């Protein structure tokens, strides 16, 4: 709960006004039965003026209760919406500081559930605190005192009532809290399963895996349903159980009053307020119990948010360093890297240097570490050992803004966001002009299909960019990387979905129009990088050779093997 205190302080005025409405509402609720008893006595004594006066006060108390109730909801809503909105924004901002390892630690699906479902549970919890949990204890304590004051000699009945209902509530809350933990776990599981299916829907359909996917989701859903049913069982037990206890105690007290009415004739007028106070007590206990359960559920969600806020990013930048873009040189000095959840190093003792403006190709078999090396340049991960320098500066000592201005990273799996084409391209440079958009699109060979749309760059990108082909998405991603104008451009197999002619045109455009940009091209096909100034050859995580295409054909057995294999494959396809 400590995590919420700084947020509550931002809404001190609303919190204060909420507490005021709670106090007046509790007073109106507690004083009404007492005043009703007084009216009954005045009726028996035929005191008409007093009856009129106290009846008017009763009506005023009713109006006060209604007004304070409405204001309580209003201010509680303001606090709840404000606090949860601020908390969600801060949590999302914290996630933005995470490295890829941090995101993978939680999983993207779990983070989504925490930002949506868990925030909803926290919202319900805060609303419950300011509408029930603060008000109901006041009413509960007040009704206990008033019930005892109304019939002092039966004080023990109130104690028995409280003990029995509290005992039932403690057992129920303990059971339900455990189930809420399981509920959130299954929600994560279902969210992950659903997201995985939606991302891989083409594969599922192609291999006719829909029945298997349905069976998996049904199993997870059934487990979640089982937890919900158990929670429902306990909820359905609490209300009738508490009512039964209350009615038994009331019946006992009424019976005892009946047996002693001759000795205490004044008890005739106290039965009604006493029953009212006992029922108010029951109502308050039940609402407190429900509030505690809701808070228990909210606390589970709060702990999950706290986990995010307490997580320290694996990659930490030097915010005091200059924010200016770095130079285009790259240097790896004895770099090795092992993924956080891995056992074996993916890169082993890598050392090389790239001069500004060079075009460097990186080739190697699948799993040789090509993409991992690129991710280290962009500092999505830090090396396990060794040092990486860009523009002569150690990456661990640079400012994040400076690095993002220096390196543009285009992934093989192109990712576009909902919005327009222009919105997506301007993620590379938020103030890019129409000319810059057009220039980048032409270089990436994207202008051809953009101009077919009536809206051109204002054409809408649907969710998951479903209205674009793989090749179109790659070209738009390349354009986004180009438009940033960064000194270093990384193309991580970013032309794999393009035809040979388009790939060639993009390479020529990069060479001619971006001569000062250091370009890192990762490719499966040697033909994609054979004209590079330098080619790095990776094999099983090691840098086994570097040089031009011609030099490597003479000196590198690994490069020769890759080249011969690809050439043989091309000849076979031609036949």
The token duo for 452 is 């077919």
Mean pLDDT of 144-150: 85
What angle do helix axes 210-259 and 155-199 make, rounded to 10 degrees? 170
Q: How much of the chain, in percent, has pLDDT values that exceed 70?
A: 95
Asked if 523 contacts 562 with a C-beta cutoff of 8 angstroms, the reply is no
- Those residues with Cβ within 8 angstroms of residue 187's Cβ, 6 or more apart along the chain or in another chain: 113, 117, 224
- Those residues with Cβ within 8 angstroms of residue 256's Cβ, 6 or more apart along the chain or in another chain: 154
Mean pLDDT of 239-268: 80
Lowest mean pLDDT segment, chosen from 88-102, 202-216, 225-239:
202-216
pLDDT digits (tens, 9 = 90+) for 177-189: 777 777 777 777 7
Mean pLDDT of 101-126: 86
CA distances to 24, 98, 140, 158, 159 from 281, in Å: 18, 49, 5, 9, 11
- Which residues belong to CATH 3.40.50.300 in the chain? 330-574
- Topology, domain 330-574: Rossmann fold (3.40.50)
SS3 assignment, position 8: helix
pLDDT band at 361 (very low <50, low <70, confident <90, very high): very high
**pLDDT above 80 (res 366):** yes
Mean pLDDT of 70-86: 92
SS3 assignment, position 449: helix
Main-chain phi, psi angles of 23, to 5 degrees: -65, -45
Q: What pLDDT was estimated at residue 572?
A: 62
pLDDT band at 318 (very low <50, low <70, confident <90, very high): confident
**pLDDT above 80 (res 288):** no
In angstroms, the CA 390 to CA 381 distance is 15
Asked if 335 contacts 383 with a C-beta cutoff of 8 angstroms, the reply is yes
Q: How much of the chain, in percent, has pLDDT values that exceed 90?
A: 22
Give residue for tokens 């222009």. 422
H or E segment at 303? helix 271-310
- Residues in the chain, total: 575
- Those residues with Cβ within 8 angstroms of residue 240's Cβ, 6 or more apart along the chain or in another chain: none
Max mean pLDDT range (154-168, 173-187, 321-335): 321-335
* 3-state helix/strand/coil string of 526-561: HHHCCCCCEEEEEECCEEEEEECHHHHHHHCHHHHH
CATH code that applies to domain 2-310? 1.20.1560.10
Contacts 24+ apart (CB under 8 A), 560-568: 562/363, 562/364, 562/365, 562/526, 562/537, 563/526, 566/525, 566/526, 566/527
Average pLDDT, the chain: 85
- Which residues belong to CATH 1.20.1560.10 in the chain? 2-310
In angstroms, the CA 490 to CA 412 distance is 11
The token duo for 43 is 């009726």
- Alpha-carbon dihedral sign for residues 146, 151, 152, 156: negative
pLDDT digits (tens, 9 = 90+) for 51-66: 888 888 888 888 988 8
Q: What pLDDT was estimated at residue 354?
A: 92
CA distances to 559, 562, 572, 573, 575 from 565, in Å: 10, 5, 11, 12, 16
- Alpha-carbon dihedral sign for residues 254, 258, 259, 261: positive
H or E segment at 362? strand 359-364
* 3-state helix/strand/coil string of 277-292: HHHHHHHHHHHHHHHH
Mean pLDDT of 383-404: 91
pLDDT digits (tens, 9 = 90+) for 436-463: 999 999 998 888 888 988 888 899 888 7
Q: What pLDDT was estimated at residue 464?
A: 72
The token duo for 27 is 């007073």
Asked if 227 contacts 189 with a C-beta cutoff of 8 angstroms, the reply is no
**pLDDT above 60 (res 574):** no
- Those residues with Cβ within 8 angstroms of residue 333's Cβ, 6 or more apart along the chain or in another chain: 351, 386, 387, 388, 389
Q: What pLDDT was estimated at residue 508?
A: 86
pLDDT band at 547 (very low <50, low <70, confident <90, very high): very high
């Amino acid at each position: 709960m400590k995590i919420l205190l700084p947020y509550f302080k931002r809404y001190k005025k609303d919190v204060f006004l909420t507490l005021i409405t709670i106090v007046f509402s509790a007073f109106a609720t507690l004083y009404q039965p007492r005043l009703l008893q007084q009216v009954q006595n005045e009726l028996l004594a035929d005191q008409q003026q007093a009856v009129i006066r106290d009846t008017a006060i009763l009506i005023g108390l009713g109006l006060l209760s209604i007004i304070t109730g409405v204001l309580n909801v209003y201010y509680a809503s303001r606090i709840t919406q404000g606090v949860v909105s601020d908390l969600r924004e801060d949590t999302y901002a914290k996630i933005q500081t995470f490295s890829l390892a941090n995101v993978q630690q939680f999983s993207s699906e779990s983070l989504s559930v925490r930002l949506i479902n868990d925030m909803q549970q926290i919202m319900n919890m805060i609303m419950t605190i300011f509408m029930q949990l603060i008000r109901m204890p006041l009413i509960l304590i007040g009704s206990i005192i008033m019930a005892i004051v109304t019939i002092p000699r039966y004080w023990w009945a109130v104690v028995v009532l409280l003990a029995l209902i509290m005992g039932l509530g403690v057992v129920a809350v303990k059971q339900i809290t455990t189930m809420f933990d399981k509920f959130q776990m299954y929600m994560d599981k279902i969210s992950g399963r659903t997201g995985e299916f939606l991302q891989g829907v083409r594969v599922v359909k192609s291999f006719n895996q829909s029945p298997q996917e349905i069976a998996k989701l049904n199993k997870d859903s059934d487990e979640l349903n089982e937890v919900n049913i158990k929670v429902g069982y306990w909820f359905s037990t609490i209300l009738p159980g508490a009512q039964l206890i209350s009615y038994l105690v009331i019946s006992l007290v009424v019976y005892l009053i009946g047996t002693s009415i001759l000795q205490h004739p004044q008890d005739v007028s106290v039965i009604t307020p006493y029953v009212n106070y006992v029922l108010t007590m029951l109502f308050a206990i039940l609402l407190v119990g429900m509030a505690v359960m809701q808070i228990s559920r909210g606390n589970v969600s709060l702990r999950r948010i706290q986990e995010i806020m307490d997580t320290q990013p694996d990659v930490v930048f030097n915010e005091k360093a200059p924010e200016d873009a770095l130079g285009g040189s790259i240097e790896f000095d004895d770099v090795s890297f092992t993924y956080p959840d891995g056992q074996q190093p993916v890169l082993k003792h890598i050392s090389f240097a790239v001069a500004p403006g060079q075009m460097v190709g990186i080739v190697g078999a699948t799993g040789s570490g090509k993409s991992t090396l690129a991710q280290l340049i962009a500092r999505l991960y830090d090396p396990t050992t060794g040092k990486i320098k860009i523009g002569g500066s150690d990456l661990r000592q640079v400012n994040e803004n400076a690095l993002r201005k220096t390196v543009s990273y285009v992934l093989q799996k192109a990712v576009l966001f909902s919005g327009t084409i222009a919105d997506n391209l301007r993620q590379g440079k938020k103030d890019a002009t129409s000319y810059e958009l057009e220039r980048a699109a032409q270089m990436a060979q994207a202008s051809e299909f953009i101009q077919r749309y009536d809206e051109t760059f204002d054409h809408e990108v649907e969710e998951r960019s479903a209205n674009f082909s793989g090749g179109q998405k790659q070209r738009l991603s390349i354009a986004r990387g180009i438009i940033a104008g960064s000194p270093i451009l990384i193309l991580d197999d970013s032309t794999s979905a393009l035809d040979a002619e388009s790939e060639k045109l993009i390479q020529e455009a990069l060479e001619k129009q971006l001569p000062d940009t250091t370009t890192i091209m990762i490719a499966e096909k040697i033909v994609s990088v054979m004209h590079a100034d330098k080619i790095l050859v990776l094999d099983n995580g090691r840098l086994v050779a570097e040089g031009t295409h011609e030099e490597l054909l003479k000196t590198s057995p690994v490069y020769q093997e890759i080249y011969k294999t690809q050439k043989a494959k091309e000849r076979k396809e031609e036949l």
